[in-house]
Amino acid sequence: MSITIFVALDDFRRAGYLCDMTPAQCRAARAFLDISQDDLATAANVGLSTVRNYEKGRSVPIGNNLGAMKAVLEARGIGFVGPDDSGTYGVTFKARDAGA
């Protein structure tokens, strides 16, 4: 089973910050996975403030940290899509088989 949600274009990205994952996508991915900011920070080996500040739009992590955060989410079944024709970004989640 695969689920996709779409999030509005972030002001963060509109402000000229280019990245592989928007703050809204990061929040949505964590919600799909039911993990906390602390869980993501620990798994990605970044500081909690890195996740917190990124999701709030206060700062953009250095490439290695942002890549590590994204990699953790992708390894757990998250996919990132967009923008589509309307400028909307999305998050997909592919549920794992119960036997897997």
pTM of the model as a whole: 0.75
| Domain at 2-94: CATH code | 1.10.260.40
Q: Among 4, 52, 53, 54, which residue's Cα sits nearest to residue 29?
A: 4
Largest pairwise CA distance in the chain = 44
Tokens found for residue 26: 């990061």
> Which residue did the predictor score with more confidence, 92 or 65?
65
Are the beta carbons of 1 and 95 closer than 8 angstroms? yes
- Domain boundary assignment for the chain: 2-94
Mean pLDDT over each residue of the chain, to the nearest integer: 79
Given a cut of 70, whether residue 26 has pLDDT beyond it is yes
> Which residue did the predictor score with more confidence, 76 or 85?
76
pLDDT in tens, 51-69: 999 999 888 888 889 999 9
